[in-house]
Amino acid sequence: MTDVLDKITPDETTDAPTAPDARHWRKEAKGDLIVLWLDCADTGTNVISEAVLRELDTLLDHVKAAQPKALVIRSAKPGGFAAGADIDGFAGLRDDDAVQMLQQGHTVLDKLAGLPFPTVAVVHGATLGGGFELALACDYRIGIDGVKLGFPEIQLGLHPGLGGTFRLTSLIDPTEAMQMMLTGKSTHDRKAKKLGILDALVPDRHVDAAIDAAANGKMKREHGGFRASALRTGVARNLAATRMRSESEKKAPRAHFPAPFALIDLWEDHGDDADDMQKAEITSFANLLGTPTAQNLIRVFFLRRTLKSAGKGEDGIAHVHVIGAGAMGAEIAAWSAMQGKRVTIEDVKLDPLGSAIKSAARIYDKKHLSGIEKRDALDRLMPDPEGLGRSRADLVIEAAPEKLDLKEKIYASLVDVMKPGAILATNTSSLKLSSLVDAAPDPALFAGLHFFNPVSQMPLVEVVSHDMASTDTLDRLAAFTTGIDRLPARVKDYPGFLVNRILAPYLMEAMVMLDEGYDKEDIDRAALAFGMPMGPVTLADQVGLDICLEVANSMQEGLETPVADTPAWLREKVEKGETGKKAGKGLYDYNSEEAPDTPADDPDQQIIDRLILPMCNAAVECLRKGVAPDADTIDGAVIFGTGWAPFRGGPLHYAKTRRDVPRVLEQLADRHGPRFTPDPGWSDLA
């Protein structure tokens, strides 16, 4: 890189870019310290890209020449330190090109780690992936309250590739370090301090004092201790690695997810030699990058970004009013309040309102909100038994039971009550909007906003249009969805909308197979072997057999390719109150049985095809009929709305890759009936 930084001396204090070529860093002198502020251009989030590292490389040469008392690295972005590596920059690299890129990155971080004076990373908010690796290359890490650190690379079919594997396992208890990398889960502020990742955890106002302590060698440091030292012997690593492989195989089989096993091999073989582990990390990462799993999971990352882009702009929604404090309404209200919206929630009974507040508190604890953040979120969430929020809200979300006459009655009560311009959205999952729109106060300001349960864990929301919905209404709802950190999928009114239309054949075919005498555990374990997060029998119990029945009934009309007929015994179970896990008994008896959570070792491919290929067929139908705008929206919605085997890239992508799906569907149709008939859209998919 051209040397353009000579004009900036350590004595200057400036908020301007260091030089025309330094677009992503700002350099500031504070007495005898130098601070480098990471501030990626043209974005609100820092990522560690090739350009960021090239600029840092040049800056480090200048900092070393200046010989400050200490170097401090911070983020100028209020949202966090860095969200990870720039996936766009490496997704298409392979083999030698990938190795070369990684080696260049390692050279820069090694230069940072080798500076002859203290280096201090001050981290806040999201400090993930490559951003975490940048912080690990510093001598000290000071965390600001609320920071979360982690390596999500395993979710991309990869493991850390910029030194994280050997720096973290050298810094803290190696088994704790491996657990972080193998799960991809973030470690929040207090735990990170306890583990020894952070040398200090302070409120923002105390950062300068902490920096001073680190710069002057007065900061107490903790290391992994005896256990960490013991695990750096070959025999101990071998025993620990064997256990890790066994656990990983249960959750992510090697056949589908090679990255965890590559990481375990890496640590077992080289955990006692950082230099060897560094070289092996580069080779291993480059090899994984070319695997189908990594390429499909990277595709899922881009699908997430595509969905999110459908919700750009301002929503104009500050106050949300939720009608119905059942499981869904309570989650919608709690999540919206957590994301900064003012929320009122009403119900015809008081008890559900009290339960909704308790449920919200549990959600906030699970999401690691601080005491102040939890208090503020609960302050924004107001029980409203009188329904006073109806007239004040910018958005009214109806989350009442799936009964047409009840919803129509609610809509009638909103006429001349909602304020001008306010939107009414229904969370219905089984009723078509065309059957509801005539009862809405203003059809142009009415649409579907279909959340998935539980809202706090499932990122997708279907924004459902109908013929009379205005474009502005749909745009605002999509923007609202991204504003509460969910992913909007814009879909048209259709039986089951998009996700349930595709999911229903999976659930209903399992019911038919049970009727034919198949063992429920065999059905579930075959689906798990394919990569589904939950077998269809377990999922039906989880969703609720009553809800499954409603969705199945809603699809008996209006579809060219029918779903399987509902067995009579399923209706009888619902009538007896055996509605699934919520009732303690459904297809499984939860007092005496446990649903399987491990895949079949040798699954029956016929079971898999009967469950999965009708989903692919339904996805083709939805694409042909324009239920969603494109194939990527369909694949993304099914993955984020159901957890559909993400390493396979989505049902349409899987079908394209497999190639024989129409032929196998024809064979299944000959044996089992017209519900397997290939959709006419297959000829266009190729």
Q: What is the pTM of this model?
A: 0.90
Q: What is the CATH number of the domain that holds 330?
A: 3.40.50.720
Q: Is-cis flag, bond preceding 260, omega within 30?
A: no
Residue 321 appears among annotated catalytic residues: no
> Same domain for 419 and 443?
yes
pLDDT of residue 44: 93
Q: HSE of 206 in the Cβ direction (CA atoms, 13 Å)?
A: 11
How many structural domains does the chain have? 3
Q: Is 323 among the domain residues?
A: yes
Computed over every residue of the chain, the mean pLDDT equals 93
Q: Is 16 among the domain residues?
A: no
Q: What is the CATH number of the domain that holds 102?
A: 3.90.226.10
Catalytic residue (one of 429, 430, 554, 617): 429
Secondary structure (DSSP) of 633-658: HHHHHHHHHH---GGGT-HHHHHHHH
Q: Is 76 among the domain residues?
A: yes
pLDDT of residue 194: 95
> Same domain for 525 and 421?
no
> Same domain for 523 and 422?
no
pLDDT of residue 21: 66
Convert the pLDDT of each residue in 213-229 to its tens digit.
Answer: 999 999 987 655 445 56
Q: HSE of 302 in the Cβ direction (CA atoms, 13 Å)?
A: 16
Q: Is 9 among the domain residues?
A: no
Mean pLDDT by 10 residues, the chain (686 residues): 33 42 91 97 96 97 97 97 94 94 98 98 98 98 97 97 96 94 95 96 96 93 57 83 92 90 97 95 97 96 96 96 97 98 97 97 94 96 98 98 96 97 96 96 98 94 98 98 98 96 95 96 96 95 90 81 89 95 94 92 95 98 97 98 96 95 98 96 87
Catalytic residue (one of 106, 319, 450, 466): 450
> Same domain for 355 and 475?
yes
> Same domain for 536 and 408?
no
pLDDT of residue 686: 67
Catalytic residue (one of 346, 462, 578, 621): 462
> Same domain for 510 and 615?
yes
113/136 Cα distance (integer angstroms): 9
641/460 Cα distance (integer angstroms): 5
Q: Of 477, 492, 507, which residue is a domain's last?
A: 492
> Is 575 buried (19+), middle (13-18) or exposed (0-12) by CB count in 10 A?
exposed
Catalytic residue (one of 46, 359, 456, 500): 500
> Same domain for 107 and 36?
yes
> Same domain for 443 and 583?
no
> Same domain for 276 and 320?
no
Max Cα-Cα span within the chain: 82
Domain range for 399: 312-492
pLDDT of residue 253: 86
pLDDT of residue 350: 95
618/330 Cα distance (integer angstroms): 31
Residue 238 appears among annotated catalytic residues: no
> Same domain for 616 and 580?
yes
Q: Is 10 among the domain residues?
A: no
Q: Is 284 among the domain residues?
A: yes
pLDDT of residue 2: 33
Nearest 5°: phi and psi at 538?
-60, -40
Residue 683 appears among annotated catalytic residues: no
Q: Of 492, 507, 531, which residue is a domain's last?
A: 492
Q: Of 450, 466, 492, which residue is a domain's last?
A: 492
Residue 408 appears among annotated catalytic residues: no
pLDDT of residue 231: 66
> Same domain for 580 and 676?
yes
pLDDT of residue 560: 84
Question: Are 296 and 648 contacting, i.e. CB atoms less than 8 angstroms apart?
Answer: yes
Q: What is the CATH number of the domain that holds 630?
A: 1.10.1040.50
Q: Is 301 among the domain residues?
A: no
> Same domain for 285 and 330?
no
pLDDT of residue 4: 30
Q: Is 204 among the domain residues?
A: yes
